[in-house]
Amino acid sequence: MRIAVATDELTGIATALPELLRDRGHEPLLHGAYVAAETPEWAWASERAARDVAEGSAERAIVACWTGTGASIAANKVAGIRAALCADAATAAGARRFNDANVLALSLRTTSEAELAEIVDAWLATPASDEADDERNLAHLGEIEGAASPGAGGRIAR
């Protein structure tokens, strides 16, 4: 699987992440601090990775910043992206199962390498649910996204 990967700094798990993906047979598509020609800041780096998913050049993405929050927020601004900030394997599996999360957000500060492996493995191994209520929720996310008005300050236009 081709997985876009973005970080704003090469610290903590950021240095281990691409190799972890390669070891599991995936192709990382690197952004942010991994690429000298790119702006490494979290908003730009995470947007690039999310756009790779939205535009089909990657199947999923993993984004990281110090807390993981900014990376998650930036990725979620891209239409069609469902980014989930996950701090453990159970949350990562739930994000895939119930939310069909196509972007995983991680904290460079709090995620250890052991947790990284557990979180990524759970996120990659868990399929999205085909339950009717989960599919309805995902469809509603698309409706919400389509109803957002740029002039509404991010609020839903009614």
Residues 77, 142 within the same domain: no
Annotate 58-85 with three-state secondary structure.
CCEEEEEECCCHHHHHHHHCCCCCCEEE
Residues 62, 139 within the same domain: no
Residue 153: domain span: 130-158
Residues 134, 123 within the same domain: no
Average pLDDT value for residue range 1-9 = 98
Name the domain count of the chain. 2
pLDDT reported for residue 146: 87
pLDDT in tens, 23-62: 999 999 999 999 999 999 999 999 999 999 999 999 999 9
Residues 123, 146 within the same domain: no
Residues 97, 150 within the same domain: no
pTM listed for this prediction: 0.92
CATH code of the domain containing 14: 3.40.1400.10
